Structure 1
């Protein structure tokens, strides 16, 4: 029976922890996936075929004509047609020599002959070739998280697959004594939302040998464990990490998230998260997400707004602040102590550096969005 594990005597700073985790990491190789499986994934560079559309097509139902042939036609002076016009449905390719679509009520059949009683402009009712994507083409940039509009564009241009970078993450739940998997499921869902391919497993017990067994085996791009990082008598995740690989630090100058541990197995980064949701989320946001961003090449945007109220922080430890967007400013909801109710209410989060005492009201700050 383990007697518990100790935190390092001196907590490693958040900046030092992140540098150690990112050291030597490169984006994973792109893989091509069916479009239906890429929503939310991070794109490698995707070139959309051009021009698009490749040919003129009708955008309304009606009669296809060459506009020049209709000059002078009106209800007072209908123009007789030498041959029957061609009917087109919206989405159909325009017939050769035609450049406009005329409404059905402007064309009528009188005996054996058609006549048209109105003019039209070139391009009326028509989507021209190259009007959506010109000859210079279009590229979905690397690092962009693919949305529904990106997938629509790719399908419309005839693509069947899209190149993405999807890191493989092994999530190991170290079972809580109470049996709860709430935090592990939260991290699994957060990882999938971040574009990772997640393999979930659960250690057979909380002892070091059971956790080490879960850590060993197939290699992934990133390993994340949940639970067992404290100093209690049944906490053994850090001991298992030391047995399986190299421990970088146990104890981060981060509130919440102080008992987070970092290590590497061969060249694979390992982040051991605490079992409490707020502790795990703080380390997830500040340590795991940057690793996933590096592996996927994702360009993580922030939103800059002034603070509606000051934030006070303790020097020497990075603290997580939760923010709500109100009247074009960030309203602080909590700092350091993050209740689930405040987490759910928050629109964004901010890590106040350990070197800072906080920020004055009105200070513009870069916050990471929790909602899109």
Structure 2
């Protein structure tokens, strides 16, 4: 009987072929989920000029010194502004309507105002060159909003082409959505990663529950073979396809969340074991190692893979859990 290949050896044998793909410049709206190949940075101060925060007259605070209801100060040439309007160069404050009196068309200040009152100064939101998101970060909705506000229309992202060829339509639809969440483009043309159903049933991989899964480099394409069973397909995606996708996209390693285990884990000797992790206030509530059920997956928010040399972990041990999917709303 041919010995099963350890998971780490399988990854080390193939991952050198999973170099980050060439970046593409695409509209920000089309880059959502993609991994930034270059930092997204402000190309100018934001705002470029001081802006009004309220309606009123844009004034120089110096011109209102000594103003009072008994001694109004005339404000010739003062410009009326609305919230968001850029201020004239000489203005450094906005005097609200309730602090004004009018003599014909001539406004008068009824009180003194300090510099900066009622305005957002130039550069308040960010300075030229300031990074909104670093290279290796995933471009999500928060970063896309910042880019829109800063007038940034495009981003350089790495979006590997992934072909999904799973026999089960339901599994294929899920795998396609899952890969797209990591920034992949679904394509049958010149794919860089192919997800397909296993061609045989012989155990090959020392991965509990997914022994027939496989990762290979075939004709310049990275190929992940996934078993037809639901549980084994999920295990293969997380153990084999996820490391490949992260490598192809050049994604910065997401920080693992470390929490104590709420019950002990017993691991199979010589096998890597996937453990699903659901969150409780006190720590991780793990599933049985190597066992993926619908109920466990419905509750899970993270996973861990126990190495083949592990004999398990006692309750209370700290375990690093990795997210099952990218967060839907990242904060830059």
- Normalising by structure 1, we get a TM-score of 0.82
- 1:168 matched to which residue of 2? 161
Question: Does residue 333 of the first structure (1) align with residue 304 of the second (2)?
Answer: no
State which of 266, 279, 282 in structure 1 corresponds to 2:235: 282
- 1:63 matched to which residue of 2? 57
State which of 304, 307, 311 in structure 2 corresponds to 1:357: 311
Q: Give the secondary structure class of the aligned counterpart of 1:182.
A: helix
- 1:187 matched to which residue of 2? 175
Q: Give the secondary structure class of the aligned counterpart of 1:269.
A: strand
| Number of equivalenced pairs | 324
Distance in 2 between the 1:56 and 1:226 partners?
59
Change (3 A) 1:309 1:74: farther
Distance in 2 between the 1:78 and 1:149 partners?
49
Asked if structure 1 preserves the Cα contact closer than 8 Å seen for 2:101 and 2:107, the reply is yes
Shift of 1:82: 4.6
Change (3 A) 1:93 1:112: closer
Q: Give the secondary structure class of the aligned counterpart of 2:212.
A: coil
Change (3 A) 1:325 1:54: same
State which of 258, 261, 264 in structure 2 corresponds to 1:304: 258
Asked if structure 1 preserves the Cα contact closer than 8 Å seen for 2:163 and 2:187, the reply is yes
Pairing 1:44-193 to 2, within 5 Å after superposition: 44-46=37-39, 47-75=41-69, 77-138=70-131, 140-173=133-166, 175=167, 180-193=168-181
Shift of 1:266: 2.4
Asked if structure 2 preserves the Cα contact closer than 8 Å seen for 1:108 and 1:115, the reply is yes
Asked if structure 1 preserves the Cα contact closer than 8 Å seen for 2:63 and 2:73, the reply is no
Give a deviation string over 1:172-213, Cα, whole Å, max 9, x none.
Answer: 12x3xxxx411111111110011100126xxxxxxxxxxxxx
RMSD of equivalent CA atoms: 1.9
Asked if structure 2 preserves the Cα contact closer than 8 Å seen for 1:229 and 1:273, the reply is no
Change (3 A) 1:154 1:319: same
Shift of 1:78: 4.2
Shift of 1:286: 1.3
Give a deviation string over 1:323-347, Cα, whole Å, max 9, x none.
Answer: 1111141111332121112111101
Shift of 1:284: 0.8
Give a deviation string over 1:133-159, Cα, whole Å, max 9, x none.
Answer: 224532521110112221122122221
- 1:255 matched to which residue of 2? 208
Pairing 1:172-321 to 2, within 5 Å after superposition: 172-173=165-166, 175=167, 180-199=168-187, 218-230=189-201, 251-301=204-254, 302-321=256-275
Distance in 1 between the 2:181 and 2:129 partners?
33
Change (3 A) 1:15 1:112: closer
- Normalising by structure 2, we get a TM-score of 0.91
Distance in 1 between the 2:282 and 2:55 partners?
46
Asked if structure 2 preserves the Cα contact closer than 8 Å seen for 1:307 and 1:364, the reply is yes
